[in-house]
Amino acid sequence: MASNDIFKGKTVLVTGGTGSFGQRFVRKLLDTGSIKKVIVFSRDEFKQHQMQQAIPDPQRKLRFFLGDVRDLPRLNRALSGVDYVVHAAALKQVPALEYNPLEAIKTNVFGTQNVIEASLDNGIKKAVFVSTDKAVSPINLYGATKLCAEKLFVAANAYRKNTNATSFSLVRYGNVVGSRGSIVDILRAQRDKGAVILTDNRMTRFWITVDQGVQLVIDALGLMRGGEIFVPKLSAAKVADLISAFAPKATVRVVGIRPGEKLHETLLTEDEVRRARDIGKYYVVEPQSHEEWDNTHLKKHKFVSSDFRYASDSVKALTKKELLNILES
C-alpha cells in the first residue's frame, strides 16, 4: 500500500532493531536505495556486531547506537535528526515477566513513554509502535504492559492539537513465524529430543510472517495521521496442527493451559470493532478521543459490521500444508 518513496531522503530509527523484525525491517529499508540513514538502537553490543557483519551496507547508510529505552537522555541523543521512529523494543517472554514484573514495566511502559518524550522533543515526524495480540484483553503481565504502551502511544497525539508535533500510531499482530524465541524455535528443540509439549488440543493462534509484519509497519507509516491502530487480516491455526505439521514423528505430551495463556487470541476488542474500518489488507481502528483528528484518508472505507469478531478461532484456519509452506518460507 505504501510507496517506498516515503523513505526518500529520510532517517529512520528502530528501537530493538537487532530482533527478528528489526533485522528484516532494516534490510528492507536499505534495499529501497533512496533512504538517507537507518539507525539501530538497542542494548546488546554483540547482537549489533553480528547484525553489522550480516547486512551489506556498501553506501554506509546503517548506524548502530548502543542504548536502552529506559535511558531518556540517550534516546534524546539518538533521535536527533531522525524523521521516523519504529518502536519495537520490548521484554516479551511471558514466564520471565511474570517473575520480574517491575523489569517488564520499566522497559515496556516507561521505555515507551521515553520514546514518546524523545520523539516530541526532537520533532520526529511519525512514530509507530509494534504491539501484539496479547495486549487485547490481557491476562498476563506482558500483555498488560503492551496495552499500557498502546494507550500511551495513542494518547500522545493530544500534543498535536496546537502544534505540528509527532504523529503516533501503532500496529498490532499475532505470533511471528520463525522469530527468535518463537514457538517454532521451542518446537524445534523439543522435536530434536523426540517429544513436544502441547498445553491444550483446542488452542489456536494467529500467525504472521516477518515479511508481513515489516510491510504492515511500512504501510502504517505511509497511511497514518496519528492515533490509528493498524491490524492485518491474518489466518490462524491450531497449535496441535502446527505440531503435527512440524514434528509429525514426535510424541505429544498434553500438559494443560499454563498461567497467562488463553485458548484463543483476539486482535480487536468489542469497543474497537465499533471504530474499525476495512481498508483491504488491514483493519484500521480510528481513535476516539481526538476531536480534530483528520480521517479523510479513511472515509472511503466502510466500518466492519457491529457483530464482527476477530479472534483466532473465528477466522480461516490454515491447513497443515499451508503451515509447512509458511515455516519453510
Catalytic residues: 134
Kindly report the number of other CB atoms within 10 A of residue 102's CB atom: 9
289: closest CA among 155, 162, 170? Answer: 155
Sign of the torsion formed by the C-alpha atoms of 249, 253, 254 and 257? negative
Q: What are 49's three cell numbers?
A: 556486531
DSSP string covering 167-201: EEEEEEE-EEET-TTSHHHHHHHHHHTTEEEES-T
CB atoms within 10 A of CB 50: 13
Report how far residue 218's alpha carbon sits from residue 86's, in angstroms, rounded to the nearest whole number. Answer: 10
Q: Is the dihedral of CA 53, 54, 55, 56 positive or negative?
A: positive
